[in-house]
Amino acid sequence: MQLLKEVLYKAGTEEVIGNTNVAVYGISINSREVKPGEMYVALRGTNVDGHAFILDAIEKGATSVLCEVMPDLIQAGINYIKVKNTYLALSEVCANFYHHPSSSLKLVGITGTNGKTTTATLLYKLFRQLNIRCGLISTVENRVNDTVIPATHTTPDPIKLNQLLSMMVLEECEYCFMEVSSHAVVQNRIGGLEFAGGVFTNITHDHLDYHKTFDEYLKAKKKFFDGLPESAFALTNTDDKNGTVMVQNTHAAKKTYGLHGIADFRCRIIENNFSGLLLQIDNTEVLCKLIGAFNAYNLLAIYATAVSLGLDKQRVLTALSMLESVNGRFDYVVSGSGITGIVDYAHTPDALNNVLSTINEIRTRNEKVITVVGCGGNRDTTKRPVMAHIACEMSDKVILTSDNPRNEDPQTIIEQMRAGVPAHLSAKVMAITDRNEAIRVACNLAAAGDIILIAGKGHETYQEIKGVKHPFDDKKILQENFNNLHA
C-alpha cells in the first residue's frame, strides 16, 4: 500500500480531480483484472484504447484513474489524474509503488538483435555458480535466485517488471540480468529503472513490422544507452559496425569487447567444434562447452560484464568454462545412427546465418546439412525471402515450413519465403506446411553423419495458429523422430 500522492511522484500530473491523500493498493492496466482499491491506468494501444474501459475498472473497484483525457462522467469518491502520456507515467508510478526496487540491485540490461537471451541467462548462471544471489528477466523464463517464474514477454510491462525486481530485493539478490527489447524502450517499459550497466550484442535486420525502418530500430536500441547514468557502464561490441554508434551519446563509462581490432576485452578462437570452443581471453586459454563464433561473442560479453561489475577475473574464467548452452540455442541431439539434430531459436537472417556458418565451419563436407525453417506470421515480412535465401545458400537441402503463422495463411508466408530462392538453387528447396511433417521428412532424408537444423522456434513449446497456442516442441518432436528411425 502507498499513498496516491507518493505513487504520482514524477508522473507528470497535469490535473487532479479528487484526493491524493488516499491509499493505493495496486496498479492495473487491464480493467478486467482490477481489484478493489487499485489504480487503473488507461493506455492507448494499437487496437484498443484503455480510456473506453474506465467505467468497467471503477465497477471492479478502482478508486483512482490515471488517464490522458478526463472522462465525461466524473464519479464521486473516485480520484482522477490527468497526465500527458500514460505510458511514461505508468513506469514512474510502478517504480514509486514498489519503492524503486532497481535502486537496491545492480541491474544490467542486455540489448541487441541476437544473443540477448543467451548473454542474460548465462550471466545469471555464472553468478549463481559463484553463489551470488541474483535474478533473471528473459524471453525464456524469469528467475529469483533459484525460483522460476514463467515469462510472457522479452521485457515485461512496468507492473510485472517492478514486481519481479521487488521480489528480488526481498530475496536479497545483489544483481539482476535483464533482456531489454527495442519494443520495451519505445513503449517506455523500462522508465523509472536504475541501471548499473548496459550491454550491446549486435544489431541486424529485425522487427521492421514495428519500427518500419532500420534507422528507427537502431534509434530504439541506442535510446537505452542514452538513458544510462554516469554511475553505470556501457559495454559495446566493436566488431558490429553500429557498436560505437550505440554508445556515442551515453553518460555511462564506455567499455568495448570484440574478436577483431582494438577493444578493452578481447578474445581469440583457437578451436571450434561440436565439443565446444577453445578461447583465449585475457591471455588465458579457456575451454567452453558452447559452440560457434557467435557464442564466442556471447561468452566474451559475459566475461566483460562480470569483470566490469567487480568480479575476480580468474573466478569468472573458471565459471565460464562450466557454462552450458541455453535451452533452444544451438541445442543438439544425436540419433542412434549418428545423425546430428540442432534446434535453434534463429528467427532473423543474421541469427540463421550465424548458426549455419557455425555448422559449415565444423562439418567435414562429407555430410549433408538439411535445414527446416519458417517465418512467423504477423511479423516483419521483409526478412522472409532473405531467410530462405540464406538457408538454401548454406544448406544442401531446405524444407520451408510453418513457424508460428498466427493469423496469417502459412502457405502465403512460405510463398513469400520462396521469392528469395535463386532459380539455380530451387531444386534443393521443398515446402511442407505442417511443421511436424517437415521435421519427420528431414529425419527420413538424413543419413548417418548428416546434420539437421530446425530453426525459428528454439525453446518455444507451442505453435500459435489463428490465436490458439497448440503444444509443439521442436526438440521433443526431433527426438521422437530419431527414436522412430530405429524402432
pLDDT for position 205: 56
Give the 3-state secondary structure of residue 61: coil
E strand or H helix at 297, and its extent?
helix 293-308
Crossing angle for the helix pair 313-320 and 293-308, to the nearest 10 degrees:
150
Q: Which three cell numbers stand for residue 264?
A: 578493452
CB 173 within 8 A of CB 180: no
Separation of alpha carbons 484 and 487, rounded Å:
5
Pairing of strands 106-111, 175-179: parallel
Residue holding cell 528507427? 216
Amino acid at 162: N
pLDDT for position 210: 53
CB 406 within 8 A of CB 377: yes
pLDDT for position 326: 87
pLDDT averaged over 10-residue windows placed end to end, the chain, 487 residues: 96 96 97 97 92 97 98 96 96 97 98 93 98 95 95 86 98 97 89 97 66 79 96 97 95 97 96 93 95 95 98 97 90 91 93 94 91 94 95 98 96 97 96 97 96 95 93 96 83
pLDDT for position 211: 43
pLDDT for position 212: 56
Distance of CA 26 to the CA centre of its chain: 27
Quote the Cα angle for 456-457-461, to 5°.
Answer: 170
Residue holding cell 554511475? 231
- Beta strands, E only, 73-154: 79-83, 106-111, 134-137, 141-144, 147-150
3-state secondary structure 304-344: HHHHHCCCCHHHHHHHHCCCCCCCCCCEEEECCCCCEEEEE
pLDDT for position 214: 81
Say which residues have a Cβ less than 8 Å from residue 364's Cβ, sequence separation at least 6. Answer: none
CB 356 within 8 A of CB 369: yes
